A and B are shown apart, each in its own frame.
Chain A
Amino acid sequence: MVSIDISGACVDFPIFDAKTRSLKKAVLGRAGGKIGTDSKVPIIEALRDITISLRQGDRVALVGHNGAGKSTLLRLMSGIYEPTRGRAVVSGKVAPVFDLAVGMDPEISGLDNILIRGLFLGMTRKQMESRISDIAEFTELGDYLSMPLRTYSTGMRVRLALGVVTSIDPEILLLDEGIGAVDAEFLAKARCRLTELVERSGILVFASHSDEFLAELCDTAIWMDHGTVREHGPLREVLHHYKGRDVLAELERR
């Protein structure tokens, strides 16, 4: 059973500047006692007291201003960050799609990059090999796939990354924005595949600023504000409160 259960979870980042993150400070600090505030590491509370429960079939939009904690919440769900307080239990095969460029090695060929990214996303080597022709067709990269990645343009890299990501079978799909820099024709094609991918996955959590995209893929929404959940409910209501106007109605009128 695919599920995400987060209760009372906090994510606090210690901020070590060059001075506090050194051994000198720790050793001297211990010997000399507390020196005002600088013996303590400043902390950024990225997420505070998050309680969310998601089940199979949930299609959740994540909205909020920059720095509201959307990406951190996605990384909490993916297991990259374990909560400093509270608990987060995630069961299911998770596919995080955050930064498309990470884990891509410019020196090796497109094909090798496809394989590595696939393995990181929890696929087996055999599964990936059987999907390579499908990915090649979708990305329209053809013979370029055997070239090193550094010869690719930005748009081609995004194509490749999207190709891999949309070819997997995730149970929990976590999408962070940053799907841009592709030409319009390709984007239409990518949307098709993305929609199919979402249909295959058990749970979708999608952080984006594009109302149109959110309306297409999600039915509920979480509004993040200053590291807390401000509102969790049907997409229409949450977007209405967040934007101060009925965005979905506007989209429908168009």
Chain B
Amino acid sequence: MSQSVAADAAEGGTVFAGHAAVAGPRSWQRAFGDLRQGWRQRPLWGYLGWQDIKQRYRRSVLGPLWISISMGVIALAMGVLYAALFKRPVADFLPYLATGLLIWRFIEGCILEGSEVFIANEGLIRFLPAPLSLHVYRLVWRQTLFFLHNLVIWGLLMIIFPQSLGWSLLLAIPAFAVLMINGAWIAIVAGIVATRFRDIPPIIASLTQLLFFMTPIVWSYEILKDNLAERARFVELNPAMHFVEILRQPLLGDAIVWRHWWIAGAITAVGCAAALICLRQYRSRVAYWV
């Protein structure tokens, strides 16, 4: 049995000394404790997340504005091209594609960086005691900041091509919260497995690429249904689709399809359970594996 000291360091006291001493390294108490202790170190990962963003654009004149600009350029180019390909009006298709793309960027970032979250922080893990979840929170926070920068593009598009936004726009907030929770569990599960088996990151990278093409972002589910009829339903098996939909529908003022919420909710519950099991079983092993 042992007790992670980092938490107490953050607390500036010995708050958990008593009951953590009772629990073994593989216990629910320690798994939840890790998440709690990491959460308590908000100032640290909050600051680190900001630094990550600022650092990427250090010495550039426009700085983080480049995140928005590069997103805007890609969305514009793809939007115009695919609108012509699918013979759809640009005023509809461009906001559709841009919104889907910025949601996808968040999902993709959480998956790709999540699988390397502990490997990338090897130095910190081996030299400074800190809860594992600290690195995960930092990652999700950084991706959230990226997302907020990209959201500027959505705002511009809503001004140029007004959509019928209603109160359902408020649903975007819980939808994004669901995405953040999923980003966290994916990072925990993929991060731990990838630290042990180093073949996982390239596998995940190629699967994510595949997932992008399988998700209705540059194409739309409705068109596919017209072309393929019943067989189009296979797309529903793609979990990423439901997560894109729950956030895209309120952002575009489309009718809310509750089926996506149910499926996303179920995936969230299963994923969180998997993350907790991983944390319980292998949390104490990550420092040995990195």
Q: List residues of chain A with CB under 8 Å of any chain B CB.
A: 1-2, 9, 13-14, 16, 18, 21-24, 26, 75, 78-84, 87-96, 98-99, 102-103, 105, 107-108, 112, 115-116, 119-122, 124-125, 171-172
Contacts and interface: CB of A to CB of B under 8 A. Distances in A.
Contact of A23 (B21, B124, B197): B197
B105 interface: no
Interface string B192-235: 00001111100100000000000000000000000000000000
A93 B8 contact: yes
A122 B200 contact: no
A82 B123 contact: no
B2 A103 contact: no
Contact of A108 (B8, B9, B43, B51): B51
Interface in B1-54: 1-6, 8-14, 17, 21, 25, 41, 43-44, 47-48, 51
30 contacts: A1-B14, A13-B288, A22-B197, A22-B199, A23-B197, A26-B197, A75-B126, A79-B2, A79-B6, A80-B129, A80-B287, A81-B288, A82-B2, A82-B25, A82-B287, A84-B288, A88-B3, A89-B21, A91-B3, A94-B8, A98-B127, A102-B124, A102-B126, A103-B127, A107-B55, A116-B47, A119-B43, A121-B128, A122-B12, A171-B14
B83 interface: no
B284 interface: yes
Nearest to A18: B198
Contacts of B196: 21
Contacts of A26: 197
B88 interface: no
Given A116-B47, A124-B12, A79 B21 contact: no
A89 B1 contact: yes
A105 B200 contact: no
Contacts of B3: 79, 88-91
Interface string B95-131: 0000000000000000000000000000111111110
B276 to A, nearest CB: 18
B55 A105 contact: yes
A25 to B, nearest CB: 9
Given A93-B12, A102-B124, A115-B47, A79 B198 contact: no
A95 B130 CA distance: 11
For chain B, the bracket of interface size reads 35 or more
Given A91-B3, A95-B9, A96-B128, 4 more contacts: A78-B5, A83-B2, A90-B5, A102-B127
Nearest to B9: A122
A94 B8 CA distance: 8
Contact of B8 (A13, A87, A91, A115): A91
B83 to A, nearest CB: 40
A53 to B, nearest CB: 14
B197 to A, nearest CB: 5
A172 B216 CA distance: 55
Contacts of A80: 125-129, 287
A87 B5 contact: no
Contacts of A18: 198
Contact of B44 (A14, A90, A120): A120
